[in-house]
C-alpha cells in the first residue's frame, strides 16, 4: 500500500496539481460550509490542528477563529508553498499516521479537509483516526471529509466522465469537454495502471479517483463503515454528517447514491 501512497504524493508534488489546489479558495462544497458553521462557536479561540493543509486553502478559514493554530501536510512541497503564502503561521511537515510530535489531549479541533484522509489505505486510515483521537482533548472535535463508496465517484471512468451541468455554466461545460479530449490518452493510461492495484473489503475500496488526470489512488467508504471505524477508535456515536452536495444532514439508511462524499463532525 505504501506504493499507492507514493503515487498520490507524486501527483500532488507536481506544480500543476499544486496550482489547481491553490486556485480553490474558501469552502469547496456545501457540506464543508455547513460543518464549519456548526462548530464555529464551540472552537473559537481554541487549539486547532489543520492536517493536509495543501497550499493553504483552509488557513484563512481556520486561522480566523484562533491564534492557537498549527497547519501540517505530509508533502514538504505543500508545506513550503503554505509557509510562503502565510509567513505568520506554524506549518509543519507531518505524516498523519504518526502524530507522536504532539502529546495526548492537545487540541480542541483537528481538521482533515477535502478528502485528504482518503489518500491512504484502509489500515493506515484507522491508524490516522486513532492518532487524531489521541491528540484531541476530551470533548474535542474531529472534522473531516471522505468519499462515498455508494456514490458516483467510484464509477467514473475516462470514457464515462463526470461533466458539470450545462445549465449551470456553459463556459465551464465547454472547458471540461476540451480538457477531456486533450487529456483522454493520459487519463486512460493512468486509470488502467491504477486499476490493477484495486483493493476492497466490507464497506470500503481502494481505487482510482478522477481528479488530476486519474492520478490519484484513494479510499472510498460507505457511511455505515465510516461510522463504525470512528466508534472503534473511541469517538462518540452518532456524529453529524453533512452531504457535500447541498449541506443537508444525512444518516445511515438514506439513499446516498448521488452523494460524492460527506463532511463529518465526530466528538471524542
What CATH number is given to the structural domain containing 251? Answer: 3.40.50.150
The percent of residues above 70 in pLDDT, for the chain, comes to 92
Q: Is residue 246 part of a domain?
A: yes
Q: Residue 41 and residue 20: Cα distance in Å, rounded?
A: 31
Q: Is residue 179 part of a domain?
A: no
Q: What is the pTM of this model?
A: 0.93
pLDDT band for position 183 (cuts 50, 70, 90) = confident
Q: Is residue 105 part of a domain?
A: yes
Q: Is residue 37 part of a domain?
A: yes
What's the pLDDT at 15? 86
Looking at the structure of the chain, the number of domains it has is 1
Does the structure show a pLDDT above 80 at 177? no
Q: Which domain holds residue 11?
A: 2-148+222-267
User: Alpha carbon of 33 to those of 16, 36, 64, 204: distances in Å?
Assistant: 26, 5, 15, 26
pLDDT band for position 166 (cuts 50, 70, 90) = low
In contact, 128 and 233? CB cutoff 8 Å:
no
Q: Is residue 137 part of a domain?
A: yes
Q: Is residue 165 part of a domain?
A: no
- Three-state DSSP class for 245? coil
Amino acid at each position: 500500500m505504501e506504493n499507492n501512497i507514493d503515487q498520490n504524493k507524486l501527483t500532488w508534488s507536481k506544480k500543476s496539481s499544486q496550482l489547481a489546489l491553490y486556485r480553490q479558495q474558501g469552502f469547496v462544497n456545501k457540506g464543508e460550509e455547513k460543518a464549519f458553521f456548526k462548530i464555529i462557536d464551540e472552537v473559537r479561540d481554541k487549539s486547532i490542528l489543520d492536517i493536509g493543509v495543501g497550499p493553504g486553502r483552509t488557513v484563512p478559514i481556520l486561522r480566523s477563529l484562533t491564534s492557537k493554530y498549527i497547519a501540517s501536510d505530509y508533502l514538504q512541497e505543500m508545506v513550503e508553498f503554505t509557509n510562503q503564502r502565510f509567513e505568520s503561521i506554524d506549518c509543519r511537515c507531518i505524516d498523519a499516521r504518526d502524530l507522536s510530535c504532539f502529546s495526548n489531549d492537545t487540541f480542541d479541533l483537528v481538521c482533515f479537509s477535502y478528502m485528504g484522509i482518503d489518500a491512504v489505505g484502509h489500515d493506515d486510515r484507522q491508524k490516522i483516526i486513532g492518532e487524531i483521537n489521541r491528540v484531541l482533548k476530551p470533548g474535542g472535535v474531529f472534522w473531516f471529509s471522505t468519499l462515498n463508496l455508494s456514490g458516483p465517484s467510484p464509477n467514473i471512468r475516462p470514457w464515462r466522465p463526470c461533466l458539470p451541468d450545462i445549465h449551470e455554466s456553459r463556459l465551464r461545460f465547454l472547458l471540461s469537454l476540451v480538457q477531456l479530449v486533450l487529456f483522454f490518452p493520459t487519463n486512460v493510461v493512468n486509470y488502467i495502471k491504477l486499476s490493477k492495484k484495486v483493493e476492497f473489503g466490507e464497506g470500503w475500496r481502494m481505487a482510482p479517483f478522477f481528479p488530476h488526470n486519474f492520478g490519484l489512488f484513494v479510499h472510498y467508504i460507505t457511511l455505515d463503515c465510516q461510522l463504525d471505524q470512528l466508534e472503534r477508535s473511541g469517538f462518540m456515536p452518532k456524529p453529524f454528517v453533512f452531504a457535500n452536495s447541498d449541506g443537508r444532514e444525512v444518516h445511515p439508511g438514506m439513499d446516498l447514491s448521488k452523494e460524492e462524499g460527506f463532511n463529518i463532525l465526530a466528538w471524542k
